[in-house]
Amino acid sequence: MANCVRCGRQLPGFSFGRKICQWCVQHEAAQRGEVADNVRQPVMPSPWVRRGESTIGITQIIFGINVAVFVAMVVQISLGKAPEGSSIMNFGPQIGQWGANIGALTISGEWWRLLTNVFVHGGVIHIAFNMWCLWNLGQLCEALYGGWTYAAIYLICGVGASLASAGWHPYVPSVGASGAIFGLAGALLAAFKLGEFSVPRAALSGTLRSLGAFVVYNLIFGFALPGIDNAAHIGGLITGLIVGALIALMAPRQEQAPRRAAIFLAVILALVGCATELAHYHELPLRFGRSPFDHAANVMPSRVDAGRRWLTLHGG
């Protein structure tokens, strides 16, 4: 069946030549003052809001995983099993044990850190801010894309963010969901700009302004404040823009699952190529499994001073 070009609602059968649904026709007539004030506007559900599905979505699952990891790290501290210097406000050296992205270790074999670090946070303020952003932006993205597409975008953008971080500062540990969240913002910006979703113009302009403000303000804060990994933010944003644009241009409809899967596979292969180039650029051995470097100091000889400082404090 055809859909309304204004709001995306499904048009009734045998709507030959019709492009606008009854709701939009009456709504636009009311805006022009052509409809009497006492005429009732029909109530129809928004097409981008999913109804009748499970109340537990992908956003809630991702949220729960992040909180569970945070709680487990707090329990480790309370039991006295965390490295010295760890606290609920700043986990410090503890993050290395839980899968922080430390480029020298990640690129030289411990590739799982590209993904595990997305679910680890540096302290209570860090996770609180990231989960607030995830809860708001993630639910919008999930409603528009559908569950499995949204989950794939989130994870792929998280990996893209981690690669950018590892490439920019290979001896500095990085954790947090913000890179993946920036990826969601990038995917939505690309999708809305390319017209993937039939959202009313008023709602679209407001959403674009909100997304733009989120990206700009957080990048400014990242450059202004120490300890914020803007490399991961930019890497996630660029990955999201690319994935969102490809989906909007090649597989805008949810029933085009094979095309979307092909897009994700192509992006993953491109990320693998980027990882290979990073290994060559930083002169790190490209392998799988435990890094050949001693986690305390044994990094490339020419960089042992910087490596020893960071890997001693944060190594896994």
Over residues 94-105, the pLDDT tens digits come to 898 899 999 888
Give, to the nearest 10 degrees, the angle between helix 201-224 and helix 124-145: 150
In the chain, the amino acid numbered 106 is T
Same structural domain, 121 and 239: yes
Are residue 121 and residue 263 in the same domain, yes or no? yes
Q: Is 53 part of a structural domain of the chain?
A: no
Q: What is the pLDDT of residue 245?
A: 94
255, pLDDT greater than 90: no
Helix axes 58-78, 147-168, angle to 10 degrees: 50
| Residue 101 contacts residue 114 (beta carbons within 8 Å) | yes
Using an 8 Å Cβ cutoff, are 179 and 157 in contact? Answer: yes
Number of domains present in the structure of the chain: 2
pLDDT digits (tens, 9 = 90+) for 115-160: 999 999 999 999 998 998 898 888 888 888 889 999 999 999 999 9
Q: How confident is the model at residue 305 (pLDDT cuts 50, 70, 90)?
A: very low
Q: How confident is the model at residue 37 (pLDDT cuts 50, 70, 90)?
A: low
Q: Measured in whole angstroms, how far is the alpha carbon of residue 188 from the centre of its chain?
A: 10
Of 66 and 45, more confident: 66
**Which DSSP symbol is given to 54?**
-
Say whether pLDDT at 209 is over 50: yes
Q: Domain containing 151: what range?
A: 58-314
Examine residue 52 and state whether it is found in any structural domain, yes or no.
no
Closest CA to 121 of 86, 156, 151, 155: 86
Bridge partner residues of 101 (DSSP): 174
Burial 122-145 (b: 16+ CB within 10 A, else e): bbeebbeebbebbeebbbbbbbbb
Radius of gyration of the chain (CA): 23
Q: Is the pLDDT of residue 312 over 50?
A: no
Closest CA to 233 of 168, 178, 184, 174: 178
Do 11 and 93 belong to one domain? no
Q: Which residues are catalytic?
A: 178, 233
Q: Output the six-digit token pair for 215.
A: 């990206």
Residues 4 and 133 both lie in one domain: no
